[in-house]
Amino acid sequence: MIRVFFLIGILLLFSCEDLTPSAPEENELLDGPMEGLTDAENGLFLAGDIAFNDEVFSAGTGLGPLFVATSCGSCHAGDGKGHPFTTLTRFGQTIPNTAPDLSIGGPQLQNRAIPGFEPEIIPAGNPSMQLTPPAVTGLGLLAALTDAQILTNADPADLDGNGISGVPNYITPPSYFVPLPLHQPVAGQYIGRFGKKAAAIDLLQQTVNAYNQDMGVTSTFEPLDTSSGLTTDPEVSDQTINEVVFYLRTLKAPIQRNPDDAQIINGNTVFNSIECGLCHTPEWTTSTSDIAALSNRTFYPYTDLLLHDMGPDLDDGVTEGGAETFEWKTPALWGLGLSPDSQGGQFFLMHDGRARSIEEAILMHGGEAENSRNLYQQLADSDKQDLIKFLESL
């Protein structure tokens, strides 16, 4: 008997680590801080992580009264792409460079309400667009690019004749926007980089809008309650918002899996040969940033952050900023293969989740991407498979 207790004691003392679940591979996870943060920055990251992933709003803590989701993490599980359960619907602006018609509600539909309130309904006859929440990893690197870098790929009039335009979405900044040296205004407007139509200039604007429009949570930045249109006391503090912005800035970039696999190497070659990379720009390098870990970093998001005509099938009749209704920002492809891990084991791709596989998504490309789609269709089956394997590795 004593030996049994002795054995248990040994187990307790020496085998604890072997008895607990092992960690997933780093490249299988989207969340986690980027390398090179200082201890103080890690602390800030952790505070933002808690606010983003753990803080759930209830009616008592500021939720709604009209809302779409109860927490940041509800839309971005594991910092990945969202699920149709939390798809956002926007309406009210059908003509570029005009203000949304707020007299009909919007610009975002709050389709849920706390008990006692009625959710918003889009007035009949108004078009709307549905937006699947994007992954939020690596955004700090994209935010650290300069406007000048983004403009190197812009070709609104397609002067090079390659069929690819690339249009920056110039956005009128909100009152709280503070320009950085990396920003390059044109007539008081700045290039939007975040959101499906690139309607948010920086991560502060994206975050503040998400609190306000997605969760119905007011702040000093956006003090208007979406239900009443009246100002309210802030329901989230400036500190929390700043911590969430820091978290988003310092989330690591997705790590490619099996980059040395022969199929994946060939898939990368195919990706470039059918000219996907003309819009899905693979490589970028940041300049100097106030966060050392973001400075002079080369990374691979596969986006040019510009708007492109995606054809009539992807024209939802609604827009934001200067984007046409048929124009969409090139989405980053990094983390694409991990999408099912945050979308309930399935793919919901394209801006509204209509594509249920990577191949479906490729085949839905129209407009400026029609040539690449046609080239894809002409590929040998093995090259198609390699391309998809490459995309899944990102």
Partner 1 sequence: MKNIFLILFVFLSAICSAQIDSTLLKQTPTDTILSKGLNMDAVYNRPFLQVGKLPVSVGGYIEADYQFIGEDGINEGTFRIPRMTLFVASSIHRKIKFLSEIELEEGGKEIVIEFAAVDFNFHPMLNLRGGVVMSPIGAFNQNHDGPKWEFVDRPIAMTEMLPATWSNVGFGLYGKQFNKDWAYGYEVYLTNGFDDSIINNSENRTFLPASKSNAERFEESSNGEPLFTGKLAIRNSNIGEIGFSYMGGIYNTHEEDGIILDKKRRLDVIALDFNSTLPWTNTYIVGEWAWVSVDVPETFSQQFGDKQKGGFIDIVQPLKKGNILDFENAVLNLSCRLEYVDWNVGTFNETGGNISDDLWAITPSFSFRPTAQTVIRFNYRVMQQQDILGNPPAKIGGIQFGISSYF
Residue 66: closest CA among 21, 121, 16: 121
What's the CA gap between 275 and 1, in Å, rounded? 72
12 touches partner 1 (CB under 8 A)? yes
Q: Cis peptide before 107, with omega less than 30 degrees from 0?
A: yes
Among 3, 14, 22, 40, binds partner 1 (CB under 8 A): 22
* Residue 71 vs 153, nearer CB to partner 1: 71
262 touches partner 1 (CB under 8 A)? no
Residue 246 φ/ψ, nearest 5 degrees: -65, -40
240 touches partner 1 (CB under 8 A)? no
| Cβ 68 vs Cβ 133: under 8 Å | no
Choose one: 114-122, 158-166, 266-274, 385-393; the region binding partner 1 (CB under 8 A): 114-122
14 touches partner 1 (CB under 8 A)? no
| Cβ 107 vs Cβ 68: under 8 Å | no
Residue 156 φ/ψ, nearest 5 degrees: -55, -35
177 touches partner 1 (CB under 8 A)? no
CB of 390 to partner 1, least distance (A): 22
Among 90, 112, 365, 389, binds partner 1 (CB under 8 A): 112
74 touches partner 1 (CB under 8 A)? yes
305 touches partner 1 (CB under 8 A)? no
| Cβ 138 vs Cβ 253: under 8 Å | yes
Choose one: 169-177, 278-286, 315-323, 343-351; the region binding partner 1 (CB under 8 A): 343-351
* Residue 67 vs 190, nearer CB to partner 1: 67
Within 13 A of 319's CA, how many CA atoms are on the CB side?
A: 23
CB of 59 to partner 1, least distance (A): 5
16 touches partner 1 (CB under 8 A)? yes
- CB within 8 Å of 45: residues ≥ 6 apart: 33, 37, 246, 247, 250
128 touches partner 1 (CB under 8 A)? no
Length of the chain, please? Answer: 394
Angle at 68 between CA 63 and CA 73, to 5 degrees: 80
**In the chain, beta strands by DSSP E:** 66-67, 88-91, 112-113, 128-131, 169-171, 190-192, 284-285, 298-299, 307-309, 327-329
Choose one: 79-87, 135-143, 236-244, 325-333; the region binding partner 1 (CB under 8 A): 79-87
Among 32, 47, 71, 128, binds partner 1 (CB under 8 A): 71
Among 229, 345, 378, 380, binds partner 1 (CB under 8 A): 345
Strand partners, 130: 89
- CB within 8 Å of 112: residues ≥ 6 apart: 64, 66, 67, 68, 119
* Residue 119 vs 311, nearer CB to partner 1: 119
2 touches partner 1 (CB under 8 A)? yes
Number of chain positions touching partner 1 (CB under 8 A): 45
Distance (Å) of CA 379 to CA 140, 262, 332, 373: 36, 17, 23, 10
325 touches partner 1 (CB under 8 A)? no
What is the H or E stretch that residue 266 is in? helix 262-273
Among 70, 89, 209, 240, binds partner 1 (CB under 8 A): 70
| Cβ 323 vs Cβ 307: under 8 Å | yes
CB of 116 to partner 1, least distance (A): 5
What's the CA gap between 142 and 293, in Å, rounded? 13
113 touches partner 1 (CB under 8 A)? yes
213 touches partner 1 (CB under 8 A)? no
Ranges within 39-68 binding partner 1 (CB under 8 A)? 55-56, 58-61, 67
Residue 76: closest CA among 54, 61, 105, 97: 54
Among 14, 23, 125, 381, binds partner 1 (CB under 8 A): 23
Among 205, 240, 281, 343, binds partner 1 (CB under 8 A): 343
Q: Cis peptide before 312, with omega less than 30 degrees from 0?
A: no
83 touches partner 1 (CB under 8 A)? yes
Among 85, 97, 160, 224, binds partner 1 (CB under 8 A): 85
* Residue 25 vs 233, nearer CB to partner 1: 25
Residues near partner 1 (CB under 8 A)? 1-2, 5, 8, 11-12, 16-17, 19-24, 55-56, 58-61, 67, 69-71, 74, 77-78, 83-85, 87, 112-119, 341-346
